[in-house]
Amino acid sequence: MATTTATTTVLHCRDPLHERRADAHFTAEARQLRAAGGTVVLMDHDALLAGDAERAVERVPEGVGSVWYRGWMIPAGRYAELDAALRGRGGELAVAPETYRRAHELPGWYESFAGLTPVSGWLPTRRGVAPDPEGLAALAAGLPPGAAIVKDYVKSRKHEWVEACYVPDLADPAALHRVVARFVELQGEFLAGGVVLRAFERFVAPPAVAAEVRVWWRDGAPRMVTAHPDSPVAEVPTPDLEPVRAAVEALDCPFVTTDLALREDGVWRVVEVGDGQVSDLHREADRAAFVRLLTAGQALLRTSSRSGTTPA
């Protein structure tokens, strides 16, 4: 098994109420990293989002070197500002800003996964401004006829399924514009990049296991398979990852996640891709195994898929 090294440093968001502690959501990860000999440094996520990257990293030690980030999502532009601020203190993010954007935003990863994921199209959109009906109709014309899902470059609003996510028929321009406009309104200042339309595919839940699984890839190899964070159960099925492996290799990002679901015809489909630094863990996932993944370098972890990891 791979050996962790004391040189692994992870940048966590600090707790807003306790500046010397990691955010409560990531406390278990930080504890496991320290136990494995790694180093935790803290940043102010709120300051970064407010546009003050220098203040965000003021508690990061000078000369910290290369660091992984593990925390709440960061817009790609702010992530680049974070990297620049760290470089001013003798550090840098282990995942370069352009690489982060490629894995984090759908237009960056879609081409690599086009055969494995629902057909999609997108329009750059200013926050608070929905595309006009004509632009949406042209976008919809590039998708198969039928239903679609609305999202931005990073997230959907699936919990507002009827009003801001699901379009029953792309041939109904009024309904399409209504759902997209509501989505843009609800996203507000958090709208990422623009509006995305994704062809709707019907998925099924295998009995007694998570309906959606999250695969964690490090250096192009699958290191962990966990339930999606929203899943009420932690047990996971074992999807065929060989087609996905090729797409991950083509994407060429060091640490990514792929969320997979089983389509009703029995084919596993990629429903989302993300940068692993900002992907959440299921509450029952093995934090120690995750830390080993993050600190493992090129060596593969060979542990049981039933414990939340998968053979390479």
For residue range 34-60, what is the model confidence (pLDDT) as tens digits?
Answer: 999 999 999 999 999 999 999 999 999
pLDDT of residue 312 exceeding 70, the answer is no
Q: Grade residue 7 by pLDDT with cuts at 50, 70 and 90.
A: confident
Token pair 């998968």 is found at 310
Q: Do 214 and 299 reside in the same domain of the chain?
A: yes
Q: Grade residue 206 by pLDDT with cuts at 50, 70 and 90.
A: confident
Tell me the average pLDDT across 94-107.
Answer: 98
Q: Grade residue 297 by pLDDT with cuts at 50, 70 and 90.
A: low
Tell me whether residue 114 is in a domain.
Answer: no
Lowest mean pLDDT among 157-161, 173-177, 230-234, 296-300: 296-300
Q: Do 225 and 159 reside in the same domain of the chain?
A: no
Name the pTM for this structure: 0.91
Please give the pLDDT value at position 133: 95
User: What is the per-residue pLDDT across 150-174, written as a single tens digit (0 to 9) for each?
Assistant: 999 999 999 999 999 999 999 999 9
Tell me the average pLDDT across 214-224.
Answer: 96
- Name the more confident of 302 and 107: 107
Q: Do 141 and 227 reside in the same domain of the chain?
A: no
Cα separation of 121 and 167, whole Å? 14
Q: Which residues of 184-201 are buried (b: 16+ CB within 10 A; e: fewer)?
A: beebeeebbbbbbbbbbb
Residue at which a domain ends, from 155, 177, 200: 200
Tell me whether residue 4 is in a domain.
Answer: no
Lowest mean pLDDT among 8-17, 191-200, 204-213: 204-213
Please give the pLDDT value at position 59: 94
Q: Do 13 and 60 reside in the same domain of the chain?
A: yes
Residue at which a domain ends, from 143, 177, 200: 200
User: What is the per-residue pLDDT across 258-278, written as a single tens digit (0 to 9) for each?
Assistant: 999 999 999 999 999 999 999
Tell me the average pLDDT across 216-237.
Answer: 94
| Tokens of residue 165, six digits | 């996510």
Tell me the average pLDDT across 60-82.
Answer: 97
Do 198 and 176 meet the contact criterion of CB atoms below 8 Å apart?
A: no
Give me the torsion for CA of 150, 154, 158, 160, rounded to 10°.
-80
Number of domains in the chain: 3
The domain spanning residue 209 has which CATH number?
A: 3.30.470.20
pLDDT of residue 116 exceeding 60, the answer is yes
Please give the pLDDT value at position 4: 37
Q: Grade residue 232 by pLDDT with cuts at 50, 70 and 90.
A: very high
Please give the pLDDT value at position 292: 92
Residue at which a domain ends, from 173, 200, 227: 200
| Tokens of residue 128, six digits | 């608070």
Tell me whether residue 109 is in a domain.
Answer: no
Domain coverage including residue 166: 119-200
Q: Do 156 and 89 reside in the same domain of the chain?
A: no
